[in-house]
Chains A and B, each alone.
Chain A
Amino acid sequence: MKRLKLISLVLLGAILLSACAGGASTVNSWPGLAADANNAYLADGNNVYAVRLSDGVKVWQYPDKAGTPKFFATPVLTPDGQLLIASAGTDQALLSLDPATGKEKWVVPFTGAKDKWIASPLVVGDMIYAANNDGTLYVLKLATGELQWSLPISHSLWAAPVSNGKLIFVTSLDHFLYAVDPQAHKIAWKVDLGGSVPGSPVVSADGSTLYVGGFTKKVSAISTVDGSVHWTADTKDWVWDAPALDGDTVYAADISGNIYSFGAPNGKNAWPDVQPDGPITGSPVILSDGTVVVVTESGAAYAFDRVSGKAWGVGTNIGGKIYTTPVVSGNLILVAPMGADSLLAALNNSGNVVWKFTGK
């Protein structure tokens, strides 16, 4: 009996200490969201969900049983009808699902990376460009997921690569923006941004300029040709995710909750004092009518018109903490909170909640 008590005590201590280790590297998550005309695809915690846009009902869930994947990376819909997902669990797998059924499409998932996936992959032509936390850019065949080549770049790569059709651009926590030549399989140029960059750049419509934020409290406009800096504009805090580009305007938000409207040609800020109620880590999203939508860590969504007036009055409270960039599909704005009563909420263009998805 005494021995049993002692073992129970040790086990209790073990559980407590395990709880204390909650801050360790593989514990938390960061929802990722994508959508097509019919479904939203939400990677959250240990699962990816397909949710019907018309009514918020679950279509499928991956894996369908309890599994070990853990998701940080946003799912990616490909032009040839695949849904790419990448896991930060112990399997560290990048795999392809059928968006209609949630069944795996490749014969073998890609498990050749040495670390977890935080960045979502980029598809250009028939290739996948996937940046891993191990600092390597992996290039896979889109149809099968077979590794074609890889390029060690640097330190942790957390942001999805982007492309202007000629080069692949990758940001890194090591403070650099890299341009990779996919034909030569090498780095074409790199530029030191002075601080870590956890978010992607955004490419101008003509492919000539990148706009990128980061931890230096700046947004920069950079030439895609040689990495020269056209302009930099100050922000009050870190810009976590990619800016959003709408014509000649670059919208960005920082983790103190400030929103900026920079002129794309010169970096002049037209919104000096736009600050809703909480830190912003997701990118701003532009609706078809030009309204700019942002979500905040305090669990609310806000909309602003181009001239800077608030479009939705006091904003829409969704609950929990919202870190993920919203996604627009049709007339719905999809928002993925953490720690709320729902995993996904759909708002209409007036900011009213249409439905919520709880994961069941």
Chain B
Amino acid sequence: MWDLLIINPFTNALLWIYDVLGHNYGVAIILFTILIRLITWPLNGQQLKGAKVMQDLQSDKEWIDIQKKYAKDKEKLAQEQMRIYKERGINPFASCLPTLIQFPIIIGLYQSITRALAATPLGLLDLARSIYPWLLNISTLIPLNSRFLWMDLGRPEGIPFPAGFTLSFLPYGFPTLAIIVAITTYLQTKLTMPPPSTGNPNDQTAAMTGMMSVYMPLFLGWLVLNYASGLAVYFVTSNVLGIIQYAMMGRVNWRNLLPGAKPALSDGKKK
């Protein structure tokens, strides 16, 4: 079912773009990522709005008061929180739901990129079975031209070390793309990090985001070190598009990049 609904359509769309646009798989990945970002644009918008409402609530006086008052009575605290949600017409899942809907799309994109590369015999067999014969002639399309810039998109990226120099933990050479992925992921997380609430020292959202800004770049960089560099092209494109999208929505906090600078308030004013 997953293959039928997600992977197969994605793989066919990706390869169709590849076929139409001069057999450059790197360009196909970039365009396909842009296409998916455009399709999920409304979901991102909803997510942002939901996140802003929840963020504003964190600095609301009544909200902070009940956190303090019922700190030792979790059941009562939950009841009071639900009351506030109901009174103000807030859906606490409004920011999560679009993310949950997007998650399969992101995973599907990720898997279709690797499937289309078909770097192993089983991978090629899977690919053959994923293709719509009325759309693509896979027998002439294979092998994909996996060269893009300095990379072979079917292999982990690395610029070879000078002769005689090796590092066992970097078997593919100097990991340029892994570093670019880590940096763009960090930038995206930092720039789109919501401002901490003004009066709530226990703001869990801010704590979570702070942690994510450290661990996600490391994790994605590690993924790129070990998997096909086509995924890295997707990550970089997706990160850059994410920053652009947030900027267009007026939600980018450029001050977050300045060391020691106080974060902006959610309404854009300085604290």
Residues on A lying within 8 angstroms of B by beta carbon are: 2-3, 6-7, 10, 13-14, 17-18, 20-21, 23-30, 72, 88, 90, 115, 118, 155-156, 158, 173-175, 194-196, 198, 215-217, 238, 240, 255, 281, 323
Q: Is the CB of B228 within 8 A of A215?
A: no
> Do B215 and A115 touch (CB < 8 A)?
no
State the CA gap A257–B216 with chains docked (Å). 46
22 contacts between A and B (CB under 8 A): A2-B207, A3-B211, A6-B208, A10-B219, A14-B219, A17-B223, A23-B111, A23-B115, A25-B114, A25-B123, A25-B155, A26-B120, A28-B120, A72-B121, A173-B142, A174-B143, A195-B140, A196-B143, A215-B138, A216-B139, A255-B125, A323-B121
Q: Report Cα–Cα, A255/B231, bound state, in Å.
A: 29
A41 to B260, CA, bound (A): 63
**CB-based contact B120/A255 at 8 Å:** no
**Is the CB of B117 closer than 8 A to any CB of chain A?**
yes
Known: A10-B219, A21-B114, A90-B171. A118 touches B120 (CB 8 A): yes
Distance of A30 Cα from B125 Cα, bound (Å): 12
Contact present for A24 and B228 (CB under 8 Å): yes
Q: CB distance B139 to A25 under 8 Å? A: no
For A156, give the chain B residue with the smallest CB separation: B143
Size of the chain B interface, CB-CB below 8 angstroms: 36
A173 to B117, alpha carbons, bound, how many Å? 13
Q: Are B120 and A21 within 8 A (Cβ)?
A: no
Chain A residues with CB below 8 A from B128, complex form: 238, 255
Q: Is the interface of B mostly helix, strand, loop or mixed?
A: helix
Give the distance in Å from the alpha carbon of A196 to the alpha carbon of B204 in the complex.
Answer: 54
Tell me, rounded to whole Å, the shortest Cβ–Cβ distance linking B238 to chain A: 14
- Segment 126-146 of B: residues with Cβ below 8 Å from A: 126, 128, 138-140, 142-143
CB of B119 within 8 A of chain A?
Answer: yes
B149 on the A face (CB < 8 A): no
Contact flags B228-268 to A (C-beta < 8 A → 1, else 0): 10010000000000000000000000000000000000000
Measured between C-beta atoms, what is the minimum distance from A320 to chain B in Å? 13
- State whether the Cβ of B110 lies closer than 8 Å to any Cβ in chain A: yes
Contact assessment for B231 and A25 in the assembled complex, using a CB-CB cutoff below 8 Å: no
Which residue of chain A is the closest to B116 with respect to CB atoms?
A23
Contacts of B138 in A (CB 8 A): 215
17 extra interchain contacts, Cβ-Cβ under 8 A, other than A30-B120, A196-B142, A255-B125?
Answer: A10-B211, A10-B215, A21-B114, A23-B114, A23-B115, A23-B126, A24-B227, A24-B231, A25-B120, A173-B143, A175-B140, A194-B139, A195-B142, A198-B121, A215-B139, A216-B139, A323-B125
With a CB–CB cut-off of 8 A, which chain A residues contact B216?
A: 10
Inter-chain contact B114/A195, CB cutoff 8 Å: no
4 interchain residue pairs of minimum CB distance? A25-B119, A215-B139, A23-B114, A173-B143
A196 and B154 contacting across the interface, CB-CB below 8 Å: no
Report how far A323 CA is from B6 CA in the complex, Å. 26
Q: Does any Cβ of A come within 8 Å of B100's Cβ?
A: no
Q: How far is the CA of A240 from the CA of B227 in the complex (A)?
A: 26
B53 on interface, CB distance cutoff 8 Å: no
Contact of B107 among A20, A118, A217 (CB under 8 A): A20
